[in-house]
């Protein structure tokens, strides 16, 4: 992986935590992080400060929103990878790319890394390159991409083949890396997460200090997750309840099922596939061809949806690092028109 990193401006901090495993926050960090320390406490902040996050497909506005949130939270290292050739990048406005950088035709990932580095000098943000396409056929290529030791991998789902996602997720599982997949369009947004077979977290009842001292019980709980490939393949369409599910979730699953059969399905094929499934006609009913088309060739991420999904996803990333709150297991979908943000279990 080609690494264009030249932002190594905080070796001091890093040396400090390597020398002292029970590191402390510096005064400068305590000052800047004060308001969030009041949300998640010092021990979570220290865990965040050690975490390394790899972002694949940094041209996606949703991933950039998410990246901004976790950089502000204070992660140790973020690498933004662009997954598409520069020519393929759309001319969308990004809040992390300045007018000058856009004029200079610097890639979004590189420009964003620079902006994010300015946003939080305590972490290290850099940019790199790879191609999603290379990973479609080849799990070893996915393994090579994830060469370094990361704690979290966040992958863009927009126009990325399910086989690529499956390969990346499998490698993450083997290396005990938290894996997230996300995508937004002009009418919906989703994320999928796999935190391993037995994700442990502490559930604090009544975290809020509102209800006096007695509310501080906590319990260590375990949650099983599934890999992308197995969750998608095992999904039964009969389980979707129109009232509770988001109407886009079945389409997502059907499309990804077809892709995992090594297909590049057309709109009609996806529609046909769904209608053949048990209860499939019900699913197809509520979905227009336009909705389907957006899934197959999604070119617009609505900024408002990107902000919502990127924010919710960043919360999940923090939870995967802190083990201090109940994580979403394992799929979330937001439908802009109904306003519903539904959590569902795939697989």
Contact positions vs another protein (CB under 8 A): 24, 30-40, 42, 61, 65, 68-69, 72-74, 93-99, 118-121, 186-187, 207-213, 288, 290, 302-308, 310-312, 314-315, 318, 325-328, 332, 334, 336-343
Spell out the SS3 assignment of the chain: CCECCCCCCCHHHHHHHHHCCCCCCCHHHHHHHHHHHHHHHHHHHHHHCCCEEEEECCCCHHHHHHHHHHHHHCCCEEEEEECCCHHHCCCCCCCCCCHHHHHCCCCHHHHHHHHHHHHCCCCEEEEEECCHHHHCCCHHHHHHHCCCCCCEEEEECCCCCHHHHHHHHHHHHHCCCEEEEEEECCCEEEEEEECCCCEEEEEECCCCHHHCHHHCCEEEEEECCCCHHHHHHHCCHHHCCCCCCCCCHHHHHHHHHHHHCCCCCCHHHHHHHHHHCCCHHHHHHCCCHHHHHHHHCCCCCCHHHHHHHHHHHHHHHHHHHHCCCCCCCCEEEEECCCCCEEEECCC
Nearer to another protein, 265 or 341 (CB): 341
Nearer to another protein, 151 or 335 (CB): 335
Dihedral sign (CA 291, 245, 153, 109): positive
Q: 191 near 180, Cβ under 8 Å?
A: yes
CB of 95 to another protein, least distance (A): 5
Nearer to another protein, 257 or 320 (CB): 320
Nearer to another protein, 149 or 198 (CB): 198
CB of 68 to another protein, least distance (A): 6
CB of 39 to another protein, least distance (A): 4
CB of 193 to another protein, least distance (A): 12
CB of 48 to another protein, least distance (A): 11
CB of 228 to another protein, least distance (A): 20
CA atoms of 337 and 346, how far apart (whole Å): 23
For residue 276, what are its two tokens? 């053949």
Nearer to another protein, 229 or 327 (CB): 327
Nearer to another protein, 265 or 303 (CB): 303
CB of 16 to another protein, least distance (A): 16
CB of 149 to another protein, least distance (A): 25
């Amino acid at each position: 992986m080609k690494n264009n990193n030249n932002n190594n401006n905080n070796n001091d901090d890093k040396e400090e935590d390597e020398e002292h495993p029970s590191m402390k926050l510096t005064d400068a960090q305590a000052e800047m992080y004060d308001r969030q320390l009041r949300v998640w406490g010092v021990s979570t902040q220290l865990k965040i400060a050690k975490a390394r996050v790899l972002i694949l497909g940094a041209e996606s506005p949703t991933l950039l929103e998410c990246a901004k949130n976790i950089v502000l939270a204070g992660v140790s290292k973020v690498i933004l990878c662009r997954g598409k050739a520069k020519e393929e990048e759309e001319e969308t406005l990004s809040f992390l790319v300045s007018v000058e950088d856009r004029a200079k035709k610097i890639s979004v990932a590189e420009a964003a890394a620079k902006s994010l580095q300015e946003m939080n000098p305590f972490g290290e943000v850099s940019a790199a390159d790879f191609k999603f396409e290379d990973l479609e056929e080849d799990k070893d290529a996915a393994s090579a991409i994830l060469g370094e030791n990361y704690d979290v991998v966040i992958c863009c789902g927009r126009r990325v083949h399910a086989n690529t996602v499956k390969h990346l997720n499998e490698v993450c599982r083997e290396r005990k890396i938290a894996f997230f997949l996300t995508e937004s369009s002009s009418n919906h947004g989703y994320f999928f997460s796999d935190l391993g077979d037995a994700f442990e977290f502490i559930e604090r009842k009544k975290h809020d200090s509102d209800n006096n001292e007695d509310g501080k019980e906590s319990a260590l709980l375990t949650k099983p997750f599934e890999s992308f490939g197995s969750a998608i393949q095992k999904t039964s369409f009969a389980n979707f309840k129109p009232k509770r599910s988001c109407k886009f979730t079945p389409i997502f699953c059907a499309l990804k099922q077809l892709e995992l059969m090594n297909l590049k399905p057309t709109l009609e094929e996806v529609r046909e596939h769904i209608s053949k499934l048990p209860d499939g006609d019900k699913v197809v009913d509520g979905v227009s061809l336009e909705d389907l088309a957006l899934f197959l060739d999604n070119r617009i991420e609505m900024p408002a949806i990107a902000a919502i999904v990127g924010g919710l996803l960043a919360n999940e990333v923090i939870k995967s690092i802190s083990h201090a709150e109940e994580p979403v297991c394992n799929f979330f979908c937001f439908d802009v028109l109904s306003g519903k943000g539904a959590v569902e279990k795939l697989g």
